[in-house]
């Protein structure tokens, strides 16, 4: 057996890296900051995609595909947007290589310089709104509800598997509406979709909120977000939804004739979640034994492991397991029977634990005699012997229970690590210990910046759902309308 994982309490960061690596989720590629998503990690992403895509379609959206490249002049059109993305983008300047005349290998062909540089999309507002110009003429063309699944490149300086990579995968919704209200409703609707997905699929409780002006998406009027707490008490932004007002419609001249027969700029939203959610999933639920997967996103929900000494025993066990395997599959459960002979069952137990498979069924010769099976759950690490009759129904309920338990555990953790903070001393002391600090803020960018400067804490969001309750800013002592969420963040 391989070396134990680092413990969360000792080196949380190393613990995370090791889980990603040992559970075979992803690895760094030879290309700076870009990751290889390995089959097991990608299978989680596929499950996420399927669930989200169904939800997008159920809310009236259609998928489409827009170009990878953004001409430089497009990016320039919306000023804040340009400023936000220009500093970290991959720039295509040439379209051909040629044999090196001075030696071996290939060089960039200087004769193949592009007239206008192309940016590898850091987000697609510019390309999409340039296209929408031709799609939107009348109020009848609205709302336009489109989503795209694709890859994105942002030249990040410090990268971390899943959490921050130069290239990542995401979906980006881009919608156009006839009125401001409809666009705001859409941005809020998609935030709700994200929250539902985070809570019901990832098992990740989230706070729905608004970003401060300083933390808004470049070009947005309002940025909504969902914020989650990781097990080290740091915050992770798991999804954002933007109300873009008429900024992009104005930048790309997208006008429509409204019902009153007047020309008007269209109203926009955009919203996205990324492969970062896999990082959130890992950090929120896993333990010192490895990955813990929520059953709804687990590529393998149940693994069956035979415990045997001789090939004859294995044959006897397999005879019993095969119909059980089929029955589980027929019940819609994703199941694997690991009867490989070159690894011992003890090794397999540890391996599937590390890989976070929610339920393990162990079957040995004694079990066959007794008509039982050993049922182990990954979330609590508990085991019990169960009659093999009715086991499918038991497993089905158990998967639901695990899904719920994972969420409740994360919710309890968040609640235990959320603090009402009313004085600056208290703030400074608590922030070192981690967690969410619910504190009053005077609403100014100066105070926000000063707090970040002194404590590395940022305002994660202004919660949407908390009651308004006036107070005094924890830093400046000035009036504040409500508490906001402060934390250190990924």
Residues within the interface to its own copies (CB under 8 A): 27, 29-31, 34-39, 42-43, 45-46, 62-76, 82, 86-99, 104-106, 108, 117-120, 127, 130-131, 134, 140, 146, 150-151, 153, 155, 167, 169, 342
- The span from the CA of 222 to the CA of 476, in Å, is 25
Q: Minimum CB separation from its own copies for residue 360, in Å?
A: 21
**Minimum CB separation from its own copies for residue 27, in Å?**
8
User: What number of other Cβ atoms are within 10 A of residue 476's Cβ?
Assistant: 18
Q: What are phi and psi of 220, to 5 degrees?
A: -90, 150
Our CB check for its own copies shows the closer of 118 and 208 to be 118
Least spacing, CB of residue 296 vs its own copies, in Å: 19
Choice between 133 and 428, CB closer to its own copies: 133
Nearest 5°: CA angle at 41, between 434 and 4?
A: 60
Minimum distance from residue 131 beta carbon to its own copies (Å): 5
Among residues 33, 47, 35, the alpha carbon closest in space to that of 356 is found at 47
Q: How far is the CB of 112 from its own copies (least distance, A)?
A: 8
Q: What is the three-state SS of 399-411?
A: HHHHHHHHHHHHH
User: Measured from the CB atom, is 44 or 206 closer to its own copies?
Assistant: 44
As a whole number of angstroms, the distance between CA 438 and CA 227 comes to 13
46 three-state secondary structure: helix
Q: Which is nearer to its own copies, 150 or 464 (CB)?
A: 150
Strand partners, 224: 210, 241
Sign of the torsion formed by the C-alpha atoms of 411, 274, 77 and 94: positive
Check if the beta carbon of residue 59 is closer than 8 Å to that of residue 193.
Answer: yes
Q: How far is the CB of 447 from its own copies (least distance, A)?
A: 29
Nearer to its own copies, 68 or 481 (CB): 68
> How far is residue 368's CA from residue 50's CA, in Å, rounded to a whole number?
38
Q: What are phi and psi of 143, to 5 degrees?
A: -75, 155
Contact call for residues 314 and 365 (beta carbons, < 8 A): no
Minimum distance between the CB of residue 318 and its own copies, rounded to whole angstroms?
A: 20
Minimum distance, C-beta of residue 102 to its own copies, in the bound complex (Å): 15
CB of 157 to its own copies, least distance (A): 10
| Closest alpha carbon to 64 in 147, 123, 121 | 147
DSSP state of 1: -
CB 357 within 8 A of CB 293: yes
Block residue for tokens 């999309």? 121
- Alpha carbon 338 to its chain's center: 30
Nearer to its own copies, 37 or 388 (CB): 37
Residue 158, burial from CB neighbour count under 10 angstroms (0-12, 13-18, 19+):
exposed
Q: How many CB atoms lie within 10 A of CB 15?
A: 23
Nearer to its own copies, 114 or 481 (CB): 114
Beta strand extents in 164-308 (DSSP E only): 167-177, 207-210, 222-229, 235-245, 255-257, 263-265, 267-274, 302-307
Nearer to its own copies, 120 or 328 (CB): 120
Q: Which is nearer to its own copies, 149 or 349 (CB)?
A: 149
| Closest to its own copies by CB, 91 or 449 | 91
As measured in angstroms, the least distance from the Cβ of 307 to its own copies is 22
Query: With respect to its own copies, which residue has the nearer C-beta, 69 or 349?
Result: 69
CB of 127 to its own copies, least distance (A): 7
CB atoms within 10 A of CB 257: 15
Indicate the residue among 148 and 430 with the shorter CB distance to its own copies.
Answer: 148
- The smaller minimum CB distance to its own copies, of residues 51 and 411, is found at 51
Smallest gap from Cβ 86 to its own copies, in A, equals 4
Tokens 């510019």 correspond to: 126
Residue with tokens 């953004």: 70
Contact (Cβ atoms closer than 8 angstroms) between residue 54 and residue 45 = no
Report in angstroms how near the CB of residue 321 gets to its own copies at its nearest: 21
Sign of dihedral through CA atoms 155, 229, 439, 225? positive
* Integer Cα distance of 392 and 373 in angstroms: 11
């Amino acid at each position: 057996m391989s070396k134990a994982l680092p413990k969360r309490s000792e080196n949380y960061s190393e613990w995370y890296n090791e889980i990603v690596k040992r559970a075979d989720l992803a690895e760094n590629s030879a290309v700076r900051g870009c990751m290889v998503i390995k089959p097991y990690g990608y299978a989680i992403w596929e499950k996420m995609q399927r669930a989200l895509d169904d939800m997008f379609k159920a809310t009236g959206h259609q998928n489409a595909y827009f170009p990878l490249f953004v001409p430089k002049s497009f990016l320039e059109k919306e000023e804040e947007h340009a400023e936000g993305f220009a500093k970290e983008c991959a720039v295509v300047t040439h379209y051909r290589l040629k044999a090196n005349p001075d030696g071996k290998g290939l060089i960039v062909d200087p004769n193949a310089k592009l007239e206008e540089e192309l940016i590898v999309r850091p987000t697609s507002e510019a390309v999409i709104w340039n296209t929408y110009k031709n799609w939107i003429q009348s109020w009848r063309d609205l709302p336009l509800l489109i989503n795209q699944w694709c890859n994105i490149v942002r030249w990040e300086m410090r990268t971390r598997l899943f959490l921050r990579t130069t290239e990542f995968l995401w979906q980006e919704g881009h919608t156009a509406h006839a009125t401001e209200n409809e666009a705001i409703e859409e941005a809020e609707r998609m935030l709700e979709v994200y929250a539902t997905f985070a809570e019901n699929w990832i098992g990740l409780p989230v706070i729905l909120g608004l970003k401060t002006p300083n933390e808004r998406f470049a070009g947005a009027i309002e940025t909504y977000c969902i914020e989650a707490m990781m097990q080290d008490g740091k915050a992770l932004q798991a999804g954002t939804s933007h109300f873009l007002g008429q900024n992009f419609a104005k930048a790309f001249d997208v006008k429509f004739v409204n019902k009153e027969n007047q020309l008007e700029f269209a109203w926009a939203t955009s919203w996205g979640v990324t492969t970062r959610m896999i990082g959130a999933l890992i950090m929120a639920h896993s333990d010192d034994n490895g990955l813990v997967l929520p059953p709804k996103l687990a590529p393998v929900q149940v693994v069956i492991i035979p415990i045997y000494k001789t090939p004859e025993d294995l044959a006897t066990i397999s005879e019993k397991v095969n119909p059980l395997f089929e029955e589980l599959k027929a019940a819609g459960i994703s199941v694997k029977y690991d009867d490989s002979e070159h690894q011992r069952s003890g090794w397999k137990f540890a391996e599937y634990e590390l890989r976070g498979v929610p339920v393990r069924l162990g079957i040995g010769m004694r079990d066959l005699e007794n008509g039982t099976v050993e049922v182990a759950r990954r979330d609590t690490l508990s085991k019990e012997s169960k009659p093999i009759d009715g086991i499918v129904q038991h497993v089905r309920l158990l998967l639901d229970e695990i899904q719920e338990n994972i969420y409740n555990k994360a919710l309890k953790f968040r609640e235990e690590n959320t603090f009402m903070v009313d004085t600056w001393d208290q703030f400074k002391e608590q922030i070192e210990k981690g967690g969410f600090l619910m504190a009053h803020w005077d609403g100014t960018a100066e105070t926000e910046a000063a707090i970040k400067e002194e404590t590395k804490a940022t305002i994660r969001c202004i919660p949407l759902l908390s009651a308004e309750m006036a107070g005094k800013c924890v830093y400046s002592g000035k009036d504040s309308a409500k508490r906001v969420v402060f934390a250190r963040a990924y």
